[in-house]
Chain A
Amino acid sequence: MSSRILYICKEEGLNLDSEALSTLGSISQGDLRRAITYLQSAARLFGSSISLKDLISVSRVIPTEVVQAFLATCKSGNFDSANKEVNDFIAEGYPVSQFLTQLFEAIVEADDISDEQKARISKKLGEADKCLVDGADEYLQLLDVCTSTKCLSTSVRGVPTV
């Protein structure tokens, strides 16, 4: 994939820094058409010198800092701050379906969550994803994920499973 991207960059006279090149694959989740679309969009908006930040802003990917901050709030166990975090997240306009994917990756990689908890949280993420596909409200689904992630990972009290 990166050889194809390099080829396009050469043909179009684009200058992609190494960080951007190495991340383009993961941002586009291995989908070449998506990668090319991002590249073209970034070139249109930001000119021929493209950085990772430019690519992220034209993709739907949510910056890692945002994901990490979100996860930290989830773990904190304070409902009101979790609710506020979800509210702000929606106000920023980030796509929740994309976010669930990134949250999933972050949770799988986390060292401080047990395997069993990871499995349960993943199940919850899957359910929320399905609900979103059905057109459910993004705020409510994210809040549900966030609050149950919290209570699952601290095992205070399980929300009834349906």
Chain B
Amino acid sequence: MLWVDKYRPKTLDQITVHEDVAQNLKKLVTEQDCPHLLFYGPPGAGKKTLIMALLRQMFGNSAEKVKVENRTWKVDAGSRSIDIELTTLASANHIEMSPSDAGFQDRYVVQEIIKEMAKNRPIDTKGKKGFKVLLLNEVDKLSREAQHSLRRTMEKYSAYCRLILCCNSSSRVIEAIRSRCLNVRINAPNEEQIVRALDFISKKEDLQLPSGFAARIAEKSNRNLRRAILSLETCRVQQYPFSSKQTIPPMDWEEYISEIASDIMKEQSPKRLFQVRGKLYELLINCIPPEIILKRLLYELLKKLDAELKLEVCHWAAYYEHRMRLGQKAIFHLEAFVAKFMSVYKAFLIATFG
């Protein structure tokens, strides 16, 4: 088992990084009537960990007995009926899924599932009908239509189910949903907290950490706890005992993007642009999200640039990322950004050195 899973705190009391949030959540479930919840925050901050601990607090150990199911829903989409396939994780008391995986059909999924859950309400020990929890991941990736349909269903069936919504960017969740939930912001742990988590794991694994080693991992993680724990485990596989000078390996795709950045800085020409296209395709094929590619490329380019060009390059990165959202083929916009950069940079070189 990977350390990220092995050392995931199981109960609200074990949670150390967002202790205050955990304690508040505990209060919330002891008062019977739990509201809908919306968790938001950057990747690897610990949202899912908190949510799973919360479910355990609500339903005891049974919340952990989950079954993975690939399910197909037949839904009525106006004139025809369509089949939608989605993977769900379910226990007796909750269902988890990422409805945005259904792409354009996401709004049907949301409606169907909630309706179905309302029909099969669990019966608690006292013979009363209880409620189920529906955990929806990545609600910020849901289409607007799906979000509106979610909001209507939320009102209609609120007696039967509680929603727990999870997302990175709460700006992308419509106000109507946000205002019906208790919003819980989960900030990324700071480097100190990450170091503490790494120390804790090292103790459990009986590892000796040279001084400053955990701090270096934390610094490289960009405040992403999952990333930091994964790095620690990779380092452990690479070389143990650790040496204080041991390099913290970057992710493969990050190294690849850093190469692309060097290529771009070395030569600005149609030929080079063509070569870069091939590399960008390679990244996309390996399922690196295009906005992540663009942001990382910007990060690498900024490292190499003079201050006066930085502003302009940032502007164009924002500009092309926005266009990428509106368009359908990410590669066009990534390439447009590279071409734009080449032209800006070349003009700068000519102006400076003739």
B170/A95 in contact, CB under 8 A: yes
Q: Is A4 an interface residue, CB under 8 A from the partner?
A: no
Measured in the bound complex, the distance between the Cα atoms of B170 and A92 in whole Å is 12
B29 to chain A, nearest CB (A): 10
Q: Kindly identify, within residues 24 to 62 of chain A, every residue whose CB is under 8 Å from any CB belonging to chain B.
A: 31, 33-34, 37, 40-41, 44-46, 58-60
A139/B295 in contact, CB under 8 A: yes
Q: Kindly identify, within residues 178 to 208 of chain B, every residue whose CB is under 8 Å from any CB belonging to chain A.
A: 178-180, 182-183, 185-188
Name the one of A92, A97, A140, A151 contacting B318, with C-beta atoms under 8 angstroms: A140
Contacts of B312 in A (CB 8 A): 159-160
Which of B9-17, B249-257, B260-268, B319-327 contacts its partner? B319-327
Measured in the bound complex, the distance between the Cα atoms of B317 and A91 in whole Å is 20
A144/B314 in contact, CB under 8 A: yes
Measured in the bound complex, the distance between the Cα atoms of B319 and A147 in whole Å is 14
B329 to chain A, nearest CB (A): 16
Contacts of B172 in A (CB 8 A): 132, 135
Most buried by B among A98, A140, A144, A148: A140
Contacts of A34 in B (CB 8 A): 179
Asked if A93 meets B188 with Cβ closer than 8 Å, knowing A45-B24, A79-B311, A147-B314, the reply is: yes
Most buried by B among A33, A94, A137, A143: A137
Measured in the bound complex, the distance between the Cα atoms of B295 and A151 in whole Å is 22
Q: Which residue of A lies closest to B40 (CB)?
A: A93
B171/A132 in contact, CB under 8 A: yes
A67 to chain B, nearest CB (A): 16
Report the interface size for chain B: residues with CB under 8 A from the other chain: 43
Asked if A93 meets B187 with Cβ closer than 8 Å, knowing A131-B322, A135-B172, A162-B319, the reply is: yes
Q: Is B129 an interface residue, CB under 8 A from the partner?
A: no
Contacts of B169 in A (CB 8 A): 95-96, 138
B340 to chain A, nearest CB (A): 11
Q: Which residue of A lies closest to B170 (CB)?
A: A95
Interface of A is mostly: helix
Which of B152-160, B232-240, B302-310 contacts its partner? B302-310
Name the one of A58, A92, A136, A144 contacting B182, with C-beta atoms under 8 angstroms: A58
Q: Which residue of A lies closest to B173 (CB)?
A: A95
Q: Is B241 an interface residue, CB under 8 A from the partner?
A: no
B315/A144 in contact, CB under 8 A: yes
Q: Is A112 an interface residue, CB under 8 A from the partner?
A: no
Measured in the bound complex, the distance between the Cα atoms of B311 and A11 in whole Å is 54
Contacts of B35 in A (CB 8 A): 40-41, 44
24 CB contacts below 8 A, A to B, read A31-B179, A40-B35, A41-B183, A44-B31, A45-B28, A58-B182, A60-B185, A91-B222, A92-B185, A93-B41, A93-B45, A93-B185, A94-B185, A96-B169, A136-B318, A137-B295, A141-B322, A144-B318, A147-B310, A147-B311, A147-B314, A147-B315, A159-B312, A159-B315
11 more CB-based (< 8 A) A-B contacts, given A40-B35, A79-B311, A97-B171? A79-B310, A95-B40, A95-B169, A136-B322, A137-B294, A140-B321, A143-B314, A147-B314, A148-B315, A151-B311, A160-B312
Binding site for B on A (CB under 8 A): 31, 33-34, 37, 40-41, 44-46, 58-60, 79, 83, 87, 90-98, 131-132, 134-141, 143-144, 147-148, 150-151, 157, 159-160, 162
Q: Which 3 A-B pairs have the closest CB atoms?
A: A93-B41, A144-B318, A97-B171
